[in-house]
Structure 1
């Protein structure tokens, strides 16, 4: 029975991520770029000032500061998708897949500007006055109740897409590889991971925001230092690696199947998993920011793909490509990244560094994703019942620890694809509302 489910999900994932969804994500992102006249990109410095707290207002509605909102969103994206997902992209599509991840990230910055601005524009409240947000609220409040089936579709897919299947799976695999344990220990690792995660996720959005704002700066700096060390040791190979990425991006020779279309699809899928632009999860977090200015939070949200894909994913890709392990190994996911680190760092430092980063990255993702699921369940039922999703979430960590990596990837890819449809459609239909607010904002603040 489980084998049938695996085959069905694998087939659905392959079908749904074919050209129609690629056209929606890439085409929608290009529309946002052109429709905005690239204006948001000219205010990147202003976005940094907002992130630094220059415009913070403690009395504004919301639960999280701009920094906490971005940290929590990045905590969900700068995680296993950056360490493990990049390896998956290279194995599946070759070095050229990284180029298409870059293109997807640049387009995704425009998508996040629109979707996260809308998330603040069309927020809702629960019985206690706590702000709720996300594509489902954007759809029902921005487009009207006649569009509610589209909002329900997003929330239902979100219950699956926000499960920690990939993260818990790769966290467990890392510990098994490093400690040289057999697969029988995965159950025990899953139970321990679930226990640690429950200490944070049961505390709700404010506790998640506090923990994420402390973890994210640390994990990005640590990862940056480690990978830069590897690249310095391999410095003579870096120019060739960039040339390989660019040349392979259009030839597709190293891609499985050798097709350029497959290569593009692989890059876009992995970028979507990495930075979630257009998927709809980040708007749920950014929508809780303490602000009365939707455009301000939209600008902050743009920073996410830049950090996540253009910086962190690129560093991971260069580390894997420069060591050559992607050509000589049969490993995939975190195992391949670990092999790349160990091939350069001496005295087993690769194991130590990777396990620290994987634990920090992985737990930060586990903490943030739980909030997305509770928001989706709260929309489908009542906000006060959303917290019960956490119990399903904790149990799923244990199950995810023992499933195959292919199943985890296909499950999340399938759910993400379905979530993207309502997110991008609502963004396109309400884009004019964002432009109108943006014009007022930029004139008002003369930034």
Structure 2
């Protein structure tokens, strides 16, 4: 089964998908004439609530929409995903994750603007946004099979299998094993039950409870993680410039790549690895974030697009870079065979012996738990689109069941499963976005003219 899942993920992440994600993102960047980037300051003003209007249509504020989206993207992709990228591809993998993020900022601007432009109504008449809605509302009913494809794979892609798997591994490696507690199926099942209870309490309250929880957790977890990694970097300040430069030079030499070749070359394989891990981290073009941003209280689509654009910058350019530098400057990527969250824990423990890994454990716990909340919302939204709002609660049973499976399964199988499903979610999301992009450009021009006049 593990071999089958790996084959499926590798096939899904072939050259056509890379062209669609990165090539499509570059096309969107050029089409917009880099305009969203020039209004970065304006995006921050929107985030601070300057333009909030409680009477606007939608369910949650701009800030809560961003933190709900970030709570899913700032998770194991930033801790375990970066560690996987470096352990397989070396320092150069981080460069291609940056490329993925910069291109992804443009992609997220377009997809989340569309999520507001073409909101649809669910079976209860509530306004909803997301790829499945902007496909049907923007392209017409004849394109509904594409929306169904996104929703079906979205239900699978939202399963929290990587987060739960790595949280279980972190608790085992950092807390239980060092204290001579026997680790096995029994301990993993106990952890799964605790996570099931915690997740059930939050997701039962719907989007408002989820967004309230994440709006409190996300800023705290980013600041805590930033502070801890800063301690590691200050302790090894003399090595930071060396490894920062190595990220750039190794990106084109692939001297440290030790995985399978791609189309006969290791450089192509390194680029693919970085883009794949970048997509897993910031989810730009996958279609998850537009489901959160589509629920924002606003009647200005471009504003929500600008808010969404901040996501990959925070997630990949800041948080993933911090993880990468912590792993590189401590040297654990060359001195240990650890992978995933255990490699990051080794970096923390080297600078902060005895307590460093426990502090990382706190971050991992918050990262994972906040992701559990937002992914449950994404999956139930896909279920609602397919089978009606009254039946969306059935997804919670599938979701909770997957927590138990993830806690007792191999990491590589869980990571490859989500990788492959994310690839299949990206196809309908990117195709619809590229077709509707000219309409976003018109909306964008009108909005920025209005801003200048005011």
- Indicate conservation of the 8 Å contact 1:47/1:300, yes or no: yes
Structure 1: gaps (5+ residues): none
- Indicate conservation of the 8 Å contact 1:29/1:111, yes or no: yes
Matched, 1:289 2:299: no
Work out which of the residue numbers 138, 141, 144 in structure 2 matches 1:145. Answer: 141
- Indicate conservation of the 8 Å contact 2:122/2:384, yes or no: no
Rounded to whole Å, the distance in 2 between the matches of 1:183 and 1:19 is 39
- Indicate conservation of the 8 Å contact 1:176/1:183, yes or no: no
Residue 51 of structure 2 aligns to a residue whose secondary structure is coil
Task: Provide the residue aligned with 1:14 in structure 2.
Answer: 10
Instruction: Tell me by how many angstroms 1:127 deviates.
Output: 4.5
Residue 235 of structure 1 aligns to a residue whose secondary structure is coil
Rounded to whole Å, the distance in 2 between the matches of 1:153 and 1:125 is 19
What does 1:357-376 align with in structure 2 at a 5 Å threshold?
357-376=363-382
Task: Provide the residue aligned with 1:188 in structure 2.
Answer: 190
Matched, 1:230 2:232: yes
Instruction: Tell me by how many angstroms 1:165 deviates.
Output: 0.6
Instruction: Tell me by how many angstroms 1:255 deviates.
Output: 0.9
Matched, 1:311 2:318: yes
Work out which of the residue numbers 107, 120, 127 in structure 2 matches 1:111. Answer: 107
Task: Provide the residue aligned with 1:417 in structure 2.
Answer: 423
Task: Provide the residue aligned with 1:219 in structure 2.
Answer: 221
Structure 2: gaps (5+ residues): none
1:117-141 deviation digits (Å, cap 9, x = unpaired): 0001111123444221111111111
Work out which of the residue numbers 247, 250, 253 in structure 1 matches 2:252. Answer: 250
Relative to the length of structure 2, the TM-score reads 0.96
Rounded to whole Å, the distance in 2 between the matches of 1:336 and 1:68 is 32
Rounded to whole Å, the distance in 2 between the matches of 1:131 and 1:191 is 34
Task: Provide the residue aligned with 1:300 in structure 2.
Answer: 307
Rounded to whole Å, the distance in 2 between the matches of 1:135 and 1:255 is 35
- Indicate conservation of the 8 Å contact 2:122/2:385, yes or no: no
Instruction: Tell me by how many angstroms 1:408 deviates.
Output: 0.5
Residue 331 of structure 1 aligns to a residue whose secondary structure is coil
What does 1:50-129 align with in structure 2 at a 5 Å threshold?
50-129=46-125
Matched, 1:350 2:375: no
Task: Provide the residue aligned with 1:444 in structure 2.
Answer: 450
- Indicate conservation of the 8 Å contact 2:154/2:379, yes or no: yes
Rounded to whole Å, the distance in 2 between the matches of 1:221 and 1:28 is 33
Task: Provide the residue aligned with 2:200 in structure 1.
Answer: 198
Instruction: Tell me by how many angstroms 1:395 deviates.
Output: 1.3
- Indicate conservation of the 8 Å contact 1:96/1:263, yes or no: yes
Rounded to whole Å, the distance in 2 between the matches of 1:243 and 1:153 is 42
Tell me the matched-pair count. 442
Instruction: Tell me by how many angstroms 1:42 deviates.
Output: 0.4
Task: Provide the residue aligned with 2:156 in structure 1.
Answer: 160
Deviation beyond 6 Å, 4+ runs, structure 1: none
Work out which of the residue numbers 253, 257, 267 in structure 2 matches 1:260. Answer: 267
Matched, 1:337 2:369: no
Task: Provide the residue aligned with 1:32 in structure 2.
Answer: 28
- Indicate conservation of the 8 Å contact 2:123/2:388, yes or no: no
Rounded to whole Å, the distance in 2 between the matches of 1:94 and 1:262 is 12
1:171-207 deviation digits (Å, cap 9, x = unpaired): 0100001121412311111111111111111111110
| RMSD value, Cα | 1.0
1:89-108 deviation digits (Å, cap 9, x = unpaired): 11121111100000010000
Deviates more, 1:174-183 or 1:59-68: 174-183
Instruction: Tell me by how many angstroms 1:383 deviates.
Output: 2.1
Instruction: Tell me by how many angstroms 1:292 deviates.
Output: 0.2
Residue 238 of structure 2 aligns to a residue whose secondary structure is helix
Instruction: Tell me by how many angstroms 1:8 deviates.
Output: 1.5
Residue 33 of structure 2 aligns to a residue whose secondary structure is coil
Task: Provide the residue aligned with 2:41 in structure 1.
Answer: 45
1:396-428 deviation digits (Å, cap 9, x = unpaired): 111101100000111000100000000000000
What does 1:267-282 align with in structure 2 at a 5 Å threshold?
267-282=274-289
Task: Provide the residue aligned with 2:386 in structure 1.
Answer: 380
Query: Residues 381, 312 of structure 1: CA spacing in aligned structure 2 closer, same or farther, 3 A cutoff?
Result: same
Instruction: Tell me by how many angstroms 1:20 deviates.
Output: 1.0
Task: Provide the residue aligned with 2:126 in structure 1.
Answer: 130
- Indicate conservation of the 8 Å contact 2:98/2:317, yes or no: yes
